[in-house]
Structure 1
Amino acid sequence: MGLLINDIEQKEMEYMLKRELEELLMDMDDQRIDHVVRRAMRERYQIVFQLFRRVASEQETMKYMLKRSKANDE
């Protein structure tokens, strides 16, 4: 399957996905959030990150990669 978008649409999609990834990363670090909710957020993060990889450069995707830690592996 493919997706045909122009440069402006690509930049807009990249921007929206970045904002979503930033929110998810920030919320996943919040220890007040239940681990079940954080697990669901991590699953959502994986889906959004896969979409982001399709429209962003490798350099941009590196900024949003999850760091491996015990807290992230719940």
Structure 2
Amino acid sequence: MLGLMVTDKELKEMEYLVKREMEELLFDMEDSRVDQVVKQAMTARYRVLFQLLRKIADDQEVIKYIPNYKL
């Protein structure tokens, strides 16, 4: 296990970046032109980002990004 010391401002910036990336992934996964193999890789990335978000965001923010079963 690793530890990380960040300021509140840095924490909010990390939260913003993670949420923005997750939103982009969700948008791209809705595109029918994207190949299924690419969507699987995007889904794996989304899950990793979601785990990171759970560690840095409050519960109310995390609830908005809970992956559904179609991911």
| Counterpart in the other structure of 2:48 | 47
Unaligned runs of 5+ in 2: none
- For the pair 1:30 / 2:31, whether they are aligned, the reply is yes
Which structure 1 residue ranges, 5 or more long, are not aligned?
Answer: none
Q: Which amino acid aligns with 1:18?
A: K
TM-score by length of 2: 0.91
| Residues 36-45 or 59-68, more deviating | 59-68
Distance in 1, matches of 2:52 and 2:62, equals 10
Q: Match for 1:17: what amino acid? A: V
Partner of 2:16: 15
> Structure 1 residue 59: deviation in Å?
0.8
Superposition pairs for residues 51-66 of structure 1, below 5 Å? Answer: 51-66=52-67
The CA RMSD measured in Å over matched residues stands at 0.9
Shift of 1:28: 1.0
The whole-number CA distance in structure 1 between the counterparts of 2:49 and 2:58 is: 15
Runs of 4+ in 1 over 6 A off after TM superposition: none
CA distance in 2, matches of 1:47, 1:7: 22
Shift of 1:51: 1.0
Q: How many residue pairs end up in the alignment?
A: 70
Give the deviation of 1:35 after TM superposition.
0.4
Q: Once the 2 structures are TM-superposed, how far is the Cα of residue 67 of structure 1 from its aligned partner?
A: 1.7
